[in-house]
Homo-oligomer: A and B are copies of this chain.
Amino acid sequence: MRRTVTRLADGRELIYYDEPGAPERTAVDRRDLPSIRPASGGELRHDAIRDEWVVIAAHRADRTHLPPSEQCPLCPSTALRLTEVPDSDYDVVVFENRFPSLTPPVGRCEVICFTADHKASFASLSPIRARTVIDALADRTAELSTLPGVEQVFCFENRGEEIGVTLSHPHGQIYAYSFLTPDTRQMLAAARAYQPGSLFGERLAAERAAGVRMVSANEHWSAFVPAAARWPFEVHLYPHRAVPDLPALSDPERDAFTQVYLDVLGRLDALFDRPMPYVAAWHQAPVRQDRHLAWLHLELLGARRGPDKLKYLAGSESAMGVFINDIRPEDAARRLREARP
């Protein structure tokens, strides 16, 4: 993988991650963009009653919203149209979000494009490309972890207009938070109370032993629907070895991940013969604290509960934090095992 670092016209960083054989990336951003104002970022506010940080990001309200594909800002630039990516092609590219929720010192937001092909999806990537994406995410995690004030790096993909995605080009996001998120804090508290055993290792072993909720597996990774799944088609992917974050994965583990992940994504899309809207969320160890308690894993939250029905978060979920799942996890796993991509 070749890494080429450049800057966009307004000073934002952009990094190409290219596979062997790709041409050099020398194009310059020729757009006339206003430089980023330092005051344009988000503001953190603490909710004392829920003991949670909320990001107030008023500048984002005007962000690009479902542009037609010929105006996609994530496609490569052409002679006629300049986009966020100056080059006429790319393999994988990462750049600072033009409409970030988090800006220094509150954090940082990056966009990662999985492919120059506007109509592709993660599920349709080649194993080599999926591996390049993972390598890029690992690289970004390592680099963002060195920034002052960053406490947690969160790599994720929102997929599907149904769940509010505003750009259809296949892409993910990387958030560097200046605080521990509530979910991570909760998970680490549970893991701390479970010592000297590993809560995550125990979960993995139990699901592999039970078998009934397994979806896919190979030598290095297992994918299962958790026994207390909150979403209709929720699949967790665990490496078999306790590693804190993506940079800690070995080469064979990275390749093995892409195999299981592409298999699971294909099954999710095959389930209703249409794209599954999902959030795919990497749970990594915090940058500094409690790294020994964590166990890297991916949570894939599939939101479609029927051909034309979505799971919504209503009163019980939004106000009380109690999820109601209409699909038994064992049934979800069986249907995913039987799905034929």
CB distance from A219 to the nearest CB of B (A): 24
Residues of A50-71 at the interface with B, using a CB-CB cut-off of 8 Å, are 50-58, 60-61, 65
Cβ contacts under 8 Å, A157 to chain B: 315
Is residue A229 contacting chain B, with contact meaning CB distance below 8 A?
yes
Is residue A8 contacting chain B, with contact meaning CB distance below 8 A?
no
Cβ contacts under 8 Å, A51 to chain B: 186, 189-190
Is residue A80 contacting chain B, with contact meaning CB distance below 8 A?
no
Cβ contacts under 8 Å, A181 to chain B: 320-322
Are A314 and B52 in contact (CB-based, < 8 A)?
no
Q: Name the residue of chain B whose CB is nearest to the CB of A300.
A: B319
Residues of A125-139 at the interface with B, using a CB-CB cut-off of 8 Å, are none
Cβ contacts under 8 Å, A187 to chain B: 49-50
Is residue A341 contacting chain B, with contact meaning CB distance below 8 A?
no
Are B165 and A314 in contact (CB-based, < 8 A)?
yes
Residues of A187-213 at the interface with B, using a CB-CB cut-off of 8 Å, are 187, 189-191, 194, 199-200, 203
Cβ contacts under 8 Å, A60 to chain B: 324, 326
Are A321 and B54 in contact (CB-based, < 8 A)?
no
Are A57 and B324 in contact (CB-based, < 8 A)?
yes
Known A60-B326, A228-B54, A326-B58: A321·B279 in contact at CB below 8 Å: no
Is residue A11 contacting chain B, with contact meaning CB distance below 8 A?
no
Chain A 35-58, CB within 8 Å of chain B: the 1/0 string?
Answer: 000000010011111111111111
Among A48, A51, A60, A299, the most chain B Cβ lie within 10 Å of the Cβ of A48
CB distance from A259 to the nearest CB of B (A): 23
Is residue A305 contacting chain B, with contact meaning CB distance below 8 A?
yes
Cβ contacts under 8 Å, A216 to chain B: none
Is residue A184 contacting chain B, with contact meaning CB distance below 8 A?
yes
Known A55-B324, A320-B281: A315·B158 in contact at CB below 8 Å: yes
Is residue A329 contacting chain B, with contact meaning CB distance below 8 A?
yes
Are B58 and A315 in contact (CB-based, < 8 A)?
no
Complexed CA–CA distance, A320 and B286 (Å): 12
Known A281-B315, A314-B279: A203·B299 in contact at CB below 8 Å: no
Is residue A173 contacting chain B, with contact meaning CB distance below 8 A?
yes
Q: Pick the contact of A319 from B56, B281, B324 — CB < 8 Å?
A: B281
Is residue A306 contacting chain B, with contact meaning CB distance below 8 A?
yes
New A-B contacts (5) at CB < 8 Å, excluding given A101-B316, A163-B314, A177-B320: A47-B227, A54-B228, A55-B323, A101-B324, A164-B310
Q: Which chain A residues have a beta carbon within 8 Å of chain B's beta carbons?
A: 42, 45-58, 60-61, 65, 101, 154, 156-158, 163-165, 173, 175, 177, 181-184, 186-187, 189-191, 194, 199-200, 203, 226-230, 279-281, 283, 299, 301, 305-306, 309-316, 318-329, 331
